[in-house]
Amino acid sequence: MITLNYRQVSFPLAQVFRIARGAKSEAEVIEVELTSQGRKGRAESVPYKRYQEDMGSVTKQLDDIKTKLAKGVSIEELLASLAPGAAKNAVDCAYWDLKAKLCDTSVEDLLSLAPTLPCITAQTLSIDSQENMANAALALKHPPLIKVKLDGDDIIGKMRAIHKAAPYSEFIVDANEGWSMEQLTTHAFELAKLNVVLIEQPLPVGEDEALIDVDLPVALCADESCHTRQDLPYLKGRYDTINIKLDKTGGLTEALLLKEEALALGFDIMVGCMVGSSLAMAPAFLLSNGAKFVDLDGPLLVAKDRPFGFNFSNGIMHSLNTDLWGGSSEQYYLA
């Protein structure tokens, strides 16, 4: 029998984080714990307002799962019935962690995945003034890849300042649905000259048809427009890359299937995250092999990460410590 418990955790951020939709000073997450035969599996997810979720809606789902588990409903049946989102993500990933502990192995081995290796991850600049964003880029000391959050205000001016501060870095520009088609087509060629290699979700969801057969010098990535495998036929011909986030797919299980099918269709893969701790990044890190872009710098944005969290150096994200998640160890960690 499996039992479920959860708690809400707040991680203060190192500094205010701004995107096109707004700003936040802390990361509000859900930590789920599944227990069976004296072993515990844990995972973390982030309820996201953009996807019509909040703490109340997610905890309501988790309470329902907890009740049904107590009545003997199998966790596999419950996971199959859940819609993609933060609740399903936390339960799915906690279940993988639990299975690894019950089998005295790792999630990588359970899934027959090749060992994940250290990789380049993007480091994110939130929206600010030209000067502040340039200073933030300079403070990163020329990492290989920087992700720049930009709304529709002063797009080229800010990117020129950032590029001047980090001339040897490549850039992902993330508009978070905040641009018009005119802004995209007007600025794409100049952005390419500034080492921008990817533009993420430039247009609002539902306006993607405007991207069909558009010839731009910078690749386009679907984020808010891509949740599960069901979205891939629509995205084909509109985007070059898809951003896989576990809070959108509803966990690692669907994320792996989405990655496999997207690669077969010719998409490049970006592995992304919401703002959270290393516990949220751990299962997503298993997708990094074969991904063209990795954007799992959430732990660098929080003021204090969890114990056994990821180590980062010069833009490199080092390998997962399975004392945190995904291995047979029974270390107990608190935020």
Question: Across residues 206-218, what is the average pLDDT?
Answer: 94
Query: Could you give the 3-state DSSP secondary structure of residue 125?
Result: strand
Same domain, 36 and 73: yes
Residue 114 lies in a domain: no
> In angstroms, rounded to a whole number, what is the distance separating the alpha carbons of residues 215 and 34?
48
- Provide the percentage of residues in the chain whose pLDDT is more than 90: 93
Q: Are 153 and 188 found together in one domain?
A: yes
Lowest mean pLDDT among 99-108, 113-122, 294-303, 324-333: 324-333
Work out how many domains the chain is built from and give that number.
Answer: 2
Please check whether residue 110 lies inside any domain of the structure: no
Q: pLDDT-based confidence at 334, cuts 50/70/90? A: very low
Please tell me whether residues 187 and 216 are part of one structural domain.
yes
Q: What band does 329 get if pLDDT is binned at 50, 70 and 90?
A: confident
Q: Where among 60, 80, 105 does a domain terminate?
A: 105
Helix ranges (H only) for 124-215 are 130-139, 155-165, 181-193
Q: Could you tell me if residue 64 is inside a domain?
A: yes
CATH number for the domain harbouring residue 287: 3.20.20.120
Residue 243 in this model has a pLDDT that exceeds 60 = yes
**Residue with the larger pLDDT of the pair 213 and 265:** 265
| Phi and psi angles of residue 31, each rounded to the nearest 5 degrees, phi first | -110, 120
Domain assignment of residue 273, yes or no: yes
Residue 219 within any structural domain of the chain: yes
Residue 234, pLDDT score:
96
Q: What are phi and psi of 251, to 5 degrees?
A: 120, 180
Quote the tokens at residue 59: 């905890």
Task: Specify whether 205 is located in the same domain as 57.
Answer: no
Entry pTM? 0.96
301 with 166, same domain? yes
Average the pLDDT over 178-206 and give the result.
Answer: 97
Same domain, 184 and 257: yes
**In terms of domains, do 260 and 195 share one?**
yes
**Distance (Å, rounded) from C-alpha 171 to C-alpha 196?**
4
pLDDT at 21: 75
Last residue of a domain, one of 46, 80, 105: 105
Q: How many Cβ atoms from other residues are within 10 Å of residue 71's Cβ?
A: 7
Domain that holds residue 185: 119-317
Do 25 and 147 share a structural domain?
A: no
Pair 178, 20: CB distance under 8 Å: yes
332 pLDDT above the threshold of 70: no
Q: Band of the pLDDT at 286, cuts 50, 70, 90?
A: very high
Condensed to tens digits (0 to 9), the pLDDT of residues 45-71 reads 999 999 999 999 999 999 999 999 999
Average pLDDT, the chain: 95
On whether both 58 and 201 belong to a single domain, the answer is no
Identify whether 334 is part of a domain. Answer: no
Chain-centre distance of CA 188, in angstroms? 24
Does 207 lie in the same domain as 149? Answer: yes
Query: What is the β-pairing status of strands 123-125 and 145-149?
Result: parallel
Q: Report if residue 335 sits inside a domain.
A: no
Which CATH number characterizes residue 39's domain?
3.30.390.10
Nearest to 295 by CA among 251, 244, 258, 248: 244
335, pLDDT greater than 70: no
The answer to whether position 333 is within a domain reads no
pLDDT band with cut points at 50, 70 and 90 for residue 331: low
Last residue of one domain, picked from the residues 48, 75, 105: 105
Q: Are residues 76 and 174 in the same domain?
A: no
Same-domain status, 137 and 61: no
Write the CB contacts of 74 (distance below 8 Å, at least 6 apart in sequence): none
Q: How far apart are CA 248 and CA 240, in angstroms?
A: 19
Using pLDDT thresholds of 50, 70 and 90, give the confidence band for residue 16: confident
Residue 281 has pLDDT above 60, yes or no: yes
